[in-house]
Copies of this chain bind each other. A is one copy, B any other.
């Protein structure tokens, strides 16, 4: 923040202090993307012109008053693309090569040769066609998977996905996929989109990879799908409630791997996010156009084309 402190008055605050601190602030950098403090402090945010959320998902700040205001919203669009794509590929390969089963056998000192799956030639449906979804598509294609996207706008010749099917009709399309990667932004339309009907339509051998936001998935339906064998595996990095409560049955569900909302957080991520904000502040002070401006009605940075 040194660079910013040289050119602006900077106040640091936690959630409790935000209502007072926001009074004269023109710019708000929101570091904790799960915080609802802005909503509570909103009536006192009279000078506010720009909010930057240091995350890709901006669902917690999209309350009606902010959405309807002139205040600009930017986010960390682009920053997590590469790391999250690698995380998704790691889980697809770990599942195909049965690395988790190998570790369980290793703990028992048990030598058990098995045949595992070829990843090249398998299929992945990527639900979410924003920057992260596109980066995932390119990486998976680079290692030989066949990919499709699922988004709001369908396409037959998308440069990254080839085919984009309608995310409003997921149940019609998931049956094609060996891997279903969920990375859509969380909006009113997408909440709970991966529901019982979608799980029923998936292959029994299917592998769900969830790296967007927990509430995109109906977790009760997911548990049921795993227990009845309607799908085979789920690699989950995000959950409806985080941290995942110790008593949640997903911890021990068959075929599930759990990680702690960390798919994009590679070494150095904090510095990288800070640089991204600093560079936008420089633009702001120079009167230039901000980058990564979120369309507050869509809930994400809209593509230029």
Contact = CB atoms under 8 A, between A and B. Distances in A.
Interface of A: 82-83, 86-87, 89-91, 93-94, 96-97, 99-100, 102-103, 105-106, 109, 111-120, 139, 142-144, 242-244, 246, 251, 257-262, 265-269
Given A90-B93, A99-B257, A111-B260, A82 B118 contact: yes
B82 A120 contact: yes
B100 A244 contact: no
A120 B261 CA distance: 20
Given A114-B260, A117-B267, A99 B94 contact: yes
Q: Give the oligomeric copy count.
A: 2
A147 to B, nearest CB: 14
A44 to B, nearest CB: 31
Given A102-B257, A114-B260, 16 more contacts: A82-B118, A86-B97, A87-B97, A90-B94, A90-B97, A90-B99, A93-B93, A93-B94, A103-B103, A103-B257, A105-B260, A111-B260, A114-B265, A115-B265, A115-B266, A116-B266
A243 B262 CA distance: 36
A139 B136 CA distance: 16
B109 A246 contact: yes
Given A139-B143, A251-B109, A118 B258 contact: no
Q: Which 6 A-B pairs have the closest CB atoms?
A: A111-B243, A90-B93, A142-B142, A113-B260, A90-B97, A109-B246
B260 A112 contact: yes
Nearest to A142: B142
Nearest to A89: B93
**Which of A94, A114, A139, A265: most chain B Cβ within 10 A?**
A94
25 contacts: A82-B118, A86-B93, A86-B97, A86-B119, A87-B97, A89-B93, A90-B90, A94-B99, A99-B257, A99-B259, A102-B260, A103-B103, A105-B260, A106-B251, A106-B257, A106-B258, A106-B259, A111-B243, A113-B262, A115-B268, A116-B265, A117-B267, A118-B266, A139-B143, A142-B142
A122 to B, nearest CB: 10
A145 B187 CA distance: 35
A83 B113 contact: no
B266 A117 contact: yes
A143 B86 contact: yes
Contact of A118 (B86, B119, B143): B86
A14 to B, nearest CB: 19
B251 A120 contact: no
B262 A115 contact: yes
